[in-house]
A and B are shown apart, each in its own frame.
Chain A
Amino acid sequence: DQQVKQNSPSLSVQEGRISILNCDYTNSMFDYFLWYKKYPAEGPTFLISISSIKDKNEDGRFTVFLNKSAKHLSLHIVPSQPGDSAVYFCAASAGGGYQKVTFGTGTKLQVIP
């Protein structure tokens, strides 16, 4: 039972353009959502998060949007840079980011110079 899904296993974007990564969840108890970036054979690195009381959070080039009614969130990266190429995981938790999180299936982003 995959409670957090990322339906696009891969995404290619030209440098300078916008990257949009999508994530859907099914568990209504989730109230905190995070995005992590991961390279092979390394641990995930935190990017940005959003609480269910908000619908948008922005940090530099990264913006996360949350649509609670649709149980959908997205990560926008503008402008995309070659260094952004990695696997991005959406994650969700009930009770805050310091609680156990459930990870999505991941999207491999390739930013083409």
Chain B
Amino acid sequence: GAVVSQHPSWVICKSGTSVKIECRSLDFQATTMFWYRQFPKQSLMLMATSNEGSKATYEQGVEKDKFLINHASLTLSTLTVTSAHPEDSSFYICSAPQQGYNEQFFGPGTRLTVL
């Protein structure tokens, strides 16, 4: 199966700062990647669909100006949490589908803690 990595695996930041999370497809190209968020003991909620070379598509209720997504290449998508606040503390996970596989491959996730 395909491998998707995320960096960093965890990050702690002060309220008001911005944090960038990277999602990379290591052995395949991904024109589409998905970003999810998981709060403790809850489900994974889709935040947005990242599209290579075009704007991301955000799910209802997700602030596009707060969660900036850039899909700069066929192997890299970044999620930037701008002006982070404690309520943004969560586990962020990305996924990417690979051609030939009828499933998505998930990254290991990034734990964000905003103080």
Contact = CB atoms under 8 A, between A and B. Distances in A.
Helix, strand, loop or mixed for chain A's interface? loop
A102 B43 CA distance: 9
B44 A100 contact: no
B89 interface: no
Residue from B49, B95, B111 whose CB has the most chain A CB atoms within 10 Å? B95
A99 B112 CA distance: 26
Interface stretch (A36-44, A69-77, A78-86): A36-44
A97 B103 contact: yes
A44 B92 CA distance: 12
Interface in B50-109: 91, 93, 95, 97-98, 101-109
How many residues of A sit at the interface, in one of the four size bands? 20 to 34
B42 A105 contact: yes
Helix, strand, loop or mixed for chain B's interface? strand
B13 interface: no
A13 to B, nearest CB: 20
Given A96-B102, A97-B97, A41 B43 contact: no
Contact of A98 (B4, B44, B101, B107): B101
Contacts of A49: 102-103
B114 interface: no
Contact of B46 (A42, A43, A98, A102): A102
B34 A100 contact: yes
Interface of A: 2, 32, 34, 36, 41-46, 49, 89, 96-106
